[in-house]
Homo-oligomer: A and B are copies of this chain.
C-alpha cells in the first residue's frame, strides 16, 4: 500500500482508486490491431516497388517475433540489438522486443566500427538482428570482439547469405516458428523498452534507456492537436533513421493513431523520397533538415514536373530549417515545414513549433520569425534557462543561458556511465544547449554550449550567422564554427557550400553586415563542396573544429584541400 505524506505527513492511500493499468507499448498495439487492422505499412523495396501489409498482418508478426524470442531464450531485461534500415521487419522489432519486457537497442549504422563495438559491449546485447547488407560489418565486429552476443538473426527476403556469423538464423525462420496468437504480457510501465546511444562531445557515446511509460506518453503528446499533425488519415513517411531516438518516436505515434506508415527501405537516395511522396500520396514526413534541401534540389534538377502537393507537413529536425527552404516548400507545394527540437535523452521531443492563435495576425515575415524558433515545450515537459551562477533567467526572449529540462520522458541517467552526474543534476537534465525563451514559451536555441563562440568575452551565436548565410540566394548550406584566435581567444569561421559558385566572401560579408554587429562577422568564408555531417545528419562541428584547430587566422584556406571538407573543384 503506497502512501503520500505531503505536507504534514498525513498518510493518504493512493492505491485501488483507478485501475492499475500500465502504460505499455502493447496497449497501443491492442487498439490499433482492432481499430485500424486494414490500414497499411508500406516499405519501399525498389524504384516504384513497395511491400505492403496491414496492421493486422503486422500485429501477428509482432506476436510471432515476441514468442519466438522467448523460445529462443531471450529474457525480460535482455538487450536485443538491431543494425537495420527503415523497413517493416525493423518496425516489427519495435514492438516485438519490448513486448516481452526485453530492451530494443537500435544501433546507429553510420558509426565507426570501434564505436559500434563499444555500444554492443557496453549494452551487453545478447542477440543482434541485422540487415543482410550489414553482414560484412558485423563479421568485422565479431573479429574485433563482441562476446556478449550469442546469436545473430538476419533480415531479408531470400535464403541466408554465406557468412562466418554463428549461430546465425534467418529472421523469417524465427517468425515461422513463432505463435501469431501469443498474448503479450503485462508488466510494470517503467520497464525498459528501448535504448539508444548519443554521441558525446568527448569520449564514448552515452546510452539512454527508454521505458514503456516514456514512449507511450511521448506518442500521446505527438498525437495531440497543435503538436505533430499525426491523424488517422495521414500517410506518413518516416525518413529519420529508425536507429536514431527510435525514429523520433514517430512510428509509435503513427501506430497509435492508425496512420498509414511509409518506410523508405534499404539505401534510399534523394530521389526515392520524392518518388515515394508522389507514388503513395504521402501527406506528412519527418527528416533531418538536409533532406528537405536535398529533395528541393532534386525536384529543381529533375526533368519531370513532380506533383508533391499531397505533402501537407514536412517536419525537419536536427537543426533549424532555413527560412528559404520553408518558403520554397510552401510556395511550390503548399507544404508546411515545421520544426521541433528533441534529444536522445528526451524520448526525444522537447519542443514543437506551432504558431499560437494570438500571434496569427502578424505579417508573413514575423510569422516566419516565430516558425524559426524551436517551439514551445510539449505537454508534461518543464524547461528553464540558468545563468553561469545557476540563477534562473527570465523568459524575455533576450536572456541567454544554459537550457535545462525535466519530464516523465527525460532520462534520469546515462546507462552505467559516470557522466550522468555532469548532466542530471537536482532532478533536471542539463541539455548542453544554450538559448533564450520568449514570453510565449518559445525556445530560441543559440548553440550547443560547446558550439558557442566567445569572442573578446562576448557571445556570438553560430546559429544566427548560419541562418543568415543560408538565406543568401547563392548559398546552399553554411556552418559557422569557433576557431582559436590570439587576440580574441575565439573567432567565427564560416564554411559555405555555394549553390552558385560565383559567390564571394566579400558578397557574404556585405550580406551579413546589415544584420549583425561588425565583430560578429566571420573573418574568413571558406567555399567547400560539402560540410561533414554527424551520423544523424547535423553539421559535424566537432570534426570541423578538430580539422582547423591550431590553424589560427589567416591562411586557413590553404589547408582545406587536405580535409574532408572538400573545396569546390
The complex places the Cα of A261 from the Cα of B411 at a distance, in Å, of 35
The answer to whether B411 touches A18 (Cβ under 8 A) is yes
In the assembled complex, A209 has its CB within 8 A of some CB on chain B:
yes
Residue of B nearest to A413 (CB): B16
Which residues from B are CB-within-8-Å of A34?
A: 395, 441
Of residues A19, A188, A192, A233, which shows the largest number of chain B Cβ atoms within 10 Å of its Cβ?
A19
The answer to whether A21 touches B209 (Cβ under 8 A) is no
In the assembled complex, A365 has its CB within 8 A of some CB on chain B:
no
| Minimum C-beta distance from A286 to chain B (A) | 16
Which residues from B are CB-within-8-Å of A210?
A: 17-18
Q: A18-B408, A19-B411, A213-B18 are in contact. Are A12 and B357 (CB under 8 A)?
A: no
Which residues from B are CB-within-8-Å of A188?
A: 2-4, 14
The complex places the Cα of A185 from the Cα of B10 at a distance, in Å, of 14
The answer to whether B23 touches A357 (Cβ under 8 A) is no
The answer to whether B225 touches A257 (Cβ under 8 A) is yes
Chain A residues 386-415 with CB under 8 Å of chain B are 395, 406-413
Which residues from B are CB-within-8-Å of A229?
A: 225
The complex places the Cα of A36 from the Cα of B10 at a distance, in Å, of 34
| Minimum C-beta distance from A22 to chain B (A) | 8
The answer to whether B21 touches A408 (Cβ under 8 A) is yes
Chain A residues 221-259 with CB under 8 Å of chain B are 221, 223-226, 229-233, 256-258
The answer to whether A225 touches B221 (Cβ under 8 A) is no
| Minimum C-beta distance from A15 to chain B (A) | 7
In the assembled complex, A275 has its CB within 8 A of some CB on chain B:
no
Q: A192-B12, A257-B226 are in contact. Are A413 and B4 (CB under 8 A)?
A: no
The complex places the Cα of A496 from the Cα of B70 at a distance, in Å, of 61
Name 24 interchain pairs, CB-CB below 8 A, sorted by A: A2-B190, A3-B188, A4-B187, A4-B191, A6-B185, A7-B100, A8-B76, A14-B191, A17-B411, A18-B211, A18-B410, A18-B411, A19-B406, A19-B408, A19-B412, A31-B379, A35-B376, A36-B356, A220-B379, A224-B225, A224-B257, A225-B230, A232-B354, A233-B360
In the assembled complex, A180 has its CB within 8 A of some CB on chain B:
no
> Majority SS of interface residues in chain A?
loop
In the assembled complex, A347 has its CB within 8 A of some CB on chain B:
yes
The answer to whether B232 touches A226 (Cβ under 8 A) is yes
The answer to whether A224 touches B224 (Cβ under 8 A) is yes
The answer to whether B76 touches A6 (Cβ under 8 A) is yes
Partner of A30, one of B10, B209, B354, B382: B382
Residues 113-146 of chain A, each 1 if its beta carbon lies under 8 Å from chain B, else 0: 0000000000000000000000000000000000
In the assembled complex, A61 has its CB within 8 A of some CB on chain B:
no
In the assembled complex, A358 has its CB within 8 A of some CB on chain B:
yes
In the assembled complex, A39 has its CB within 8 A of some CB on chain B:
yes
| Minimum C-beta distance from A194 to chain B (A) | 10
The complex places the Cα of A226 from the Cα of B257 at a distance, in Å, of 8
The answer to whether A380 touches B27 (Cβ under 8 A) is yes
The complex places the Cα of A10 from the Cα of B4 at a distance, in Å, of 29
The complex places the Cα of A409 from the Cα of B192 at a distance, in Å, of 23
In the assembled complex, A101 has its CB within 8 A of some CB on chain B:
yes
In the assembled complex, A440 has its CB within 8 A of some CB on chain B:
yes
Which residues from B are CB-within-8-Å of A256?
A: 379
In the assembled complex, A28 has its CB within 8 A of some CB on chain B:
yes
Q: A232-B354, A379-B220 are in contact. Are A18 and B191 (CB under 8 A)?
A: no
Chain A residues 28-84 with CB under 8 Å of chain B are 28, 30-31, 34-36, 38-39, 70, 75-77
Which residues from B are CB-within-8-Å of A382?
A: 27, 30-31
Which residues from B are CB-within-8-Å of A98?
A: none
The answer to whether A232 touches B356 (Cβ under 8 A) is yes
The answer to whether A408 touches B23 (Cβ under 8 A) is yes
Interface size class of A (residues with CB under 8 A): 35 or more
The complex places the Cα of A514 from the Cα of B7 at a distance, in Å, of 66
Partner of A7, one of B12, B22, B76, B412: B76
| Minimum C-beta distance from A199 to chain B (A) | 20
Q: A8-B75, A220-B220 are in contact. Are A192 and B17 (CB under 8 A)?
A: yes
The answer to whether A38 touches B225 (Cβ under 8 A) is no
Which residues from B are CB-within-8-Å of A4?
A: 76, 101, 187-188, 191
Partner of A77, one of B12, B101, B360: B12
Which 10 A-B pairs rank lowest in CB-CB distance, beginning with the nearest? A12-B77, A233-B357, A225-B231, A14-B190, A35-B441, A21-B408, A4-B187, A17-B209, A223-B224, A18-B214
Residue of B nearest to A17 (CB): B209
In the assembled complex, A427 has its CB within 8 A of some CB on chain B:
yes
| Minimum C-beta distance from A184 to chain B (A) | 10
In the assembled complex, A369 has its CB within 8 A of some CB on chain B:
no
Which residues from B are CB-within-8-Å of A292?
A: none
Partner of A406, one of B21, B70, B408: B21
Additional pairs, 14, CB under 8 Å, beyond known A4-B188, A216-B380: A6-B101, A6-B186, A7-B185, A8-B75, A12-B77, A17-B210, A19-B410, A19-B411, A23-B380, A27-B380, A28-B379, A38-B358, A220-B224, A225-B229
